[in-house]
């Protein structure tokens, strides 16, 4: 149905640029809240979820060592997890968190 396609279209579809610290995937707020299907009593609700990227500690335990005081440039062959690791350097935005917009029916709750 058209309203379902609009909800999908209004949501952020895939994270792009998160390795470069583009951690906000906003989707289309106006398109989401404009969804109104009076027949089925469905309206759009814009939700912004926070997703945290973390490797399994048994596979990559060094990711959980204390944060480095300063960020250092990584070599091209470095692990993506090295890029996402938290640092105490105030010049660097956290890369292990992603804010991802999702458009859902307004009847949905955070638990859903």
Ordered by start, the domain boundaries in the chain are 1-53+96-112, 58-92
> Could you tell me how many helices (H) and strands (E) the chain has, helices first?
3, 4
> Does residue 42 carry a pLDDT above 70?
yes
Distance between CA 44 and CA 37 in Å, rounded?
A: 9
Contact 16, 22 (CB under 8 A): yes
pLDDT tens digits along 51-94: 888 888 898 888 888 777 777 777 888 887 787 788 888 888 77
- pLDDT score, position 18: 64
Q: Which of 17-21, 65-69, 73-77, 103-107 has the highest mean pLDDT?
A: 103-107
| Residue corresponding to tokens 């579809």 | 13
């Amino acid at each position: 149905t058209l309203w379902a396609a609009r909800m999908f279209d209004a949501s952020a579809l895939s994270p792009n640029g998160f390795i470069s610290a583009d951690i906000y995937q906003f989707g289309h707020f106006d398109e989401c809240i404009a969804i109104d299907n009076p027949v089925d009593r469905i309206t759009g609700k814009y939700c912004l979820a926070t997703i945290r990227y973390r490797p399994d500690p048994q596979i990559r335990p060094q990711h959980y060592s204390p944060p480095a005081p300063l960020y250092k440039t990584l070599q091209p062959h470095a692990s993506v997890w090295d890029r996402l690791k938290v640092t105490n350097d105030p010049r660097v935005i956290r890369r292990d968190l992603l804010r991802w917009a999702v458009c859902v029916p307004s009847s949905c709750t955070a638990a859903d």
